[in-house]
Structure 1
Amino acid sequence: MTDPAPDGPRLLVVEDDRPLGALLLRMFAAQGYEAQLAEDGQRGLHLALTREYDVLVIDRGLPAIEGLDLLGRLRRSGVTTPALILTALGTLADRVSGLDGGADDYLVKPFEVEELMARIRVLARRRKPAPAVTIGRAGFDLITRAVTLADGSCVTLSGRESDLLRLLAQDPARVFTRDEIVTRVFPESSTDSLVDTYVHYLRRKLGADAVRTVRGVGYRLGAL
């Protein structure tokens, strides 16, 4: 499955049942959604942390990272994308724990297609991501990954460069530790070596002051 296209509502489906996952992708495509499938919790965590989606559809009984654990990690990392838990666990206690765990909606398998689609439409309407943000005197287009600097020049970032800048720009005064940056931008990495590499890339493209080093702590947004 290719990456979601930027021009339609985008869904991330985290489901380890391959036939059901393939069925969901076909159903969503027929309704005009761009959907991507992750077959375990670790892959779902990586995609949800590094890419933009309009709705997350998450099973509970996932390999690697259980569904509610996955959702909890996303919420603690600041991911607010509306999430639907789609699972066979349907007792009252299951539904309550799912909603208390960060889900916006909870649907039990087996489900009616019309009901699933109606719930997805409701959640998709809640997600209205801004196409661009302003960082000081610079503009950052979240779709094209282009940064328009104060002098009018335009720089296009790679996916990971864009993810790192977006993280720092979420709270310009905050110092992000290396561990936080690894968790949010490089969740598949077991070391923080990539952090320094991509900070260097951003400085090379946007200027030496684009990212500031706070010794012994981490990095914060600088001046673009």
Structure 2
Amino acid sequence: MRILVVEDDENLNRQMVSALTEQGYAVDAALDGEDGHFLGETEPYDAVILDLGLPQMDGLSVLEAWRREGRTMPVLILTARDRWSDKVQGIDAGADDYVAKPFHMEEVLARVRALVRRAAGHASNDLTAGSVRLDLRASRVTVDGNPVKLTSHEYKVLEYLMHHRGKTISRTELTEHLYDQDFDRDSNTIEVFVGRLRKKLGIDLIETVRGLGYRIDPPGGETDGADA
């Protein structure tokens, strides 16, 4: 999953990027509203953490511009604790949730997990597909209750596919959502990670949809209509 952090406090920005990266997210960061708006307008993100008090372009204007442009990624706004009006304006402008400063990093991580989860239509932090269970909080994968050790990139591929179960995901989409802006992206490596995942999971879970990408079928076999 790919996250954008827009926060002008360099120390806090760095702390959030570090915490999110440790949780397995690919993270891009901006220190002012103009850069944040540009990244959110041009790059695909699964969630955004957006401070409202930004230089160059304030966070509320950034959010309103994204929504006018049809950008629908979930947005978590950061507000000053005593500025309840900021919270109201942010929600009305299209924010999905908010956290008041100062905050505990664990709360931010939990709210980001919830935003990503809800955006994909999941109510729980546990994603399941057949005998495979993925615990989002612990970044842990099991098959029939037995732990499976995955590399960070293998985990990210499996997590994205399970979040979008039933949808055919192209290698390009996987690449765009799993790597930050500075990563040397090569969609061919996705094929390698999928091959490794199949071996480690030991079950027929990830389907190759010829010419289109990969898919994990939902319960009941309903799919997005792509031909296998």
Identity of aligned residues (%): 23
1:97-121 superposed Cα distances (whole Å, 9 cap, x missing partner): 43342655477xxxx7976983565
Report the counterpart of residue 136 of structure 1 in structure 2: 130
Describe how 1:145-224 pairs up with structure 2 within 5 A: 145-150=139-144, 152-187=145-180, 188-207=183-202, 209-221=204-216
* TM-score of the two chains, using structure 1 as the length reference: 0.60
Q: Shift of residue 189 of structure 1?
A: 3.0
Alpha-carbon distance between aligned partners in 2 of 1:52 and 1:195, rounded to the nearest angstrom: 15
Number of equivalent positions: 181
Q: Using the TM superposition, give the Cα deviation of residue 202 of structure 1 relative to its aligned residue in structure 2, in angstroms.
A: 0.4
For 1:144 and 1:163, the matched residues in 2 are separated by 13
CA distance in 2, matches of 1:13, 1:97: 13
Rounded Cα–Cα distance in structure 1 between residues aligned with 2:211 and 2:23: 25
Structure 2 gaps, min length 5 = 68-74, 87-98, 115-123, 219-228
Determine helix, strand or coil for the equivalent of 1:147.
Answer: strand
Alignment of structure 1 residues 14-29 onto 2, 5 Å: 14=6, 20-22=9-11, 24=12
RCO greater where, 1 or 2, for CA within 8 Å and sep 6 or more?
Answer: 2
Which blocks of at least 5 consecutive residues in structure 1 are unaligned? 1-10, 27-33, 39-43
Counterpart in the other structure of 1:51: 25
Q: Tell me the CA shift for residue 50 of structure 1.
A: 5.3
CA distance in 1, matches of 2:111, 2:134: 22
Q: Which amino acid aligns with 1:118?
A: A
Q: For the aligned residues, what is the CA RMSD?
A: 4.3
SS in 2 for 1:101: helix
Q: CA deviation at 1:197?
A: 0.9
The SS at the match of 1:197 is: helix
Aligned to 2:40: 71
Secondary structure of 1:139's aligned partner: strand
Deviations 1:15-40 (A, max 9, x none): 6x7xx413x369xxxxxxx63369xx
Letter in 1 for 2:131: R
Aligned-partner Cα distance in 1 for 2:4–2:10: 11
The aligned counterpart of 1:7 is none
Residues in 1 aligned to 2:57 and 2:210: alpha-carbon distance in whole angstroms? 49
CA contact (8 A) 1:148 1:155 kept: yes
1:161 Cα offset (Å): 1.0
Instruction: Give how far 1:84 is off.
Output: 2.4
Q: Hey, what's the Cα distance between the residues in 2 that align with 1:37 and 1:153?
A: 30
Q: Distance in 1 between matches of 2:18 and 2:169?
A: 30
